């Protein structure tokens, strides 16, 4: 399903991801507007030609004229926004998002929207450790994964259109998962990895360790630079799953520790060979 080149796209929340979406869609020839909190973000985006129009006010005219609206906000801000301004959305508009958790927000948002406005959630699996539209770059999506998480309320047309949006933006692998499946895999692939990076970064605080480190520690802690406001919210919204993933991981690490303690070198090596073989699947095409 093609997305009509005349479609008016509105980005709500013009940060790193919202800004990168805007860049990608502008380059494809779409008309892109933005509503965001800081005037400086709008000024920057207009100056850079990332958007055609932008405002810090949730203008009814702008909202009701959009064909596709992409929300790139913290979960609770997203819900507040829909509560206040969702009524301005016109029937026929397709609403999507980039939120990192799904089960706790997708059904809620779908229930809140006016009749005829369809919300189809999506999660771009890309990011950087920097923030703001000033750091936006559509190339972060090159070779990256994109997950659409429909519910039984969604039409197959909306699913197709949302997948096409991902394709347009430049994602490599497009997938469809239920909100629950999404939160399960993301609890493991993304949230657990952030917890590990944080714990690794904070468990030893002796000075000068940076003088002795190699790239492995740098790689494992890259994401230890973390937006505490956003991630603590995402963690809490997927709490039970994340606690379960931490347990699974620690059990496996304990297994390796046991092999070490008992000198079971053969089992250790078998685990390493399996790890090596399995890792090969996870390379990005652009690596």
Give the chain's radius of gyration (CA, Å).
Answer: 21
Q: Is 145 in the site for a copy of itself (CB under 8 A)?
A: yes
Q: Looking at 19-27, 77-85, 101-109, 211-219, which segment touches a copy of itself (CB under 8 A)? A: 211-219
For the four alpha carbons of 56, 43, 51 and 27, in that order, the dihedral sign comes to negative
Question: What's the closest the beta carbon of residue 35 comes to a copy of itself, in angstroms?
Answer: 26
| Cβ distance to a copy of itself smaller for residue 34 or 163 | 163
User: Cα(174)–Cα(148) distance, rounded to whole angstroms?
Assistant: 8
Cβ-contact 146, 125 below 8 angstroms = yes
Question: What's the closest the beta carbon of residue 267 comes to a copy of itself, in angstroms?
Answer: 10
Question: What's the closest the beta carbon of residue 197 comes to a copy of itself, in angstroms?
Answer: 7
Question: What's the closest the beta carbon of residue 231 comes to a copy of itself, in angstroms?
Answer: 6
Q: Is 285 in the site for a copy of itself (CB under 8 A)?
A: no
Closest CA to 68 of 100, 29, 97: 97
| Cβ distance to a copy of itself smaller for residue 145 or 151 | 145
Cβ-contact 82, 113 below 8 angstroms = yes
Cβ-contact 146, 17 below 8 angstroms = no
x/- site string to a copy of itself, residues 227 to 256, per CB under 8 A? -xx-xx--xx--x--xx--x-xxxxxxxxx
Interface residues for a copy of itself in 186-205 (CB under 8 A)? 186, 188-190, 192-205
User: Cα(200)–Cα(213) distance, rounded to whole angstroms?
Assistant: 13
Question: What's the closest the beta carbon of residue 214 comes to a copy of itself, in angstroms?
Answer: 4
Q: Looking at 31-39, 56-64, 84-92, 259-267, which segment touches a copy of itself (CB under 8 A)? A: 259-267
User: Cα(63)–Cα(55) distance, rounded to whole angstroms?
Assistant: 11
Burial of 265 (0-12, 13-18, 19+ CB in 10 A): exposed
Question: What's the closest the beta carbon of residue 84 comes to a copy of itself, in angstroms?
Answer: 24
x/- site string to a copy of itself, residues 16 to 45, per CB under 8 A? ------------------------------
Question: In the set 209, 234, 237, 285, which binds a copy of itself (CB under 8 A)?
Answer: 209
Question: What's the closest the beta carbon of residue 159 comes to a copy of itself, in angstroms?
Answer: 16
Question: In the set 57, 61, 281, 285, which binds a copy of itself (CB under 8 A)?
Answer: 281
| Cβ distance to a copy of itself smaller for residue 5 or 280 | 280
CA dist 73 → 17, 174, 182, 209, 218 (Å): 10, 22, 18, 36, 29
Tokens of 58: 């949730």
Interface residues for a copy of itself in 105-134 (CB under 8 A)? 125-127
Tokens of 286: 């652009």
Percent helix / strand / coil, the chain, rounded to 5? 55, 15, 30
């Amino acid at each position: 399903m093609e997305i009509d080149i005349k479609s008016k796209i509105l980005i709500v929340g013009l940060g790193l991801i919202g800004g990168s979406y805007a860049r990608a869609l502008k380059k494809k020839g779409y008309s892109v507007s933005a509503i965001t909190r800081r005037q400086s973000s709008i000024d920057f985006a207009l100056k850079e030609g990332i958007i055609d129009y932008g405002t810090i006010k949730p203008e009814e005219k702008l909202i009701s004229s959009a064909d596709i609206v992409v929300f790139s906000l913290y979960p609770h801000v997203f819900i507040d926004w829909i509560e206040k301004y969702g009524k301005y959305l016109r029937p026929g508009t397709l609403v999507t998002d980039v939120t990192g958790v799904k089960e706790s927000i997708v059904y809620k948002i779908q229930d809140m929207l006016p009749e005829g406005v369809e919300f189809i959630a999506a999660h771009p699996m890309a990011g950087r450790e920097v923030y703001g539209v000033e750091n936006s770059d559509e190339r972060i999506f090159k070779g990256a994964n994109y997950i659409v998480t429909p519910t039984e309320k969604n039409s197959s047309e909306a699913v197709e259109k949302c997948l096409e949006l991902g394709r347009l933006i430049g994602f490599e692998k497009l997938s469809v998962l239920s909100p629950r499946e999404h939160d399960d895999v993301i609890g493991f692939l993304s949230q657990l990895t952030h917890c590990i990076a944080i714990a690794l970064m904070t468990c030893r605080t002796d000075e000068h360790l940076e003088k002795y480190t190699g790239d492995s520690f740098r790689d494992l802690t890259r994401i230890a630079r973390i937006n505490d406001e956003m991630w603590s919210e995402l963690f809490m919204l997927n709490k039970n799953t994340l606690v379960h993933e931490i347990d699974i991981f620690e059990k496996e690490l304990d297994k390796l520790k046991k092999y070490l303690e008992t000198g079971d070198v053969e089992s250790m090596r078998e685990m390493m060979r399996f790890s090596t073989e399995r890792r090969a699947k996870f390379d990005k095409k652009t690596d």
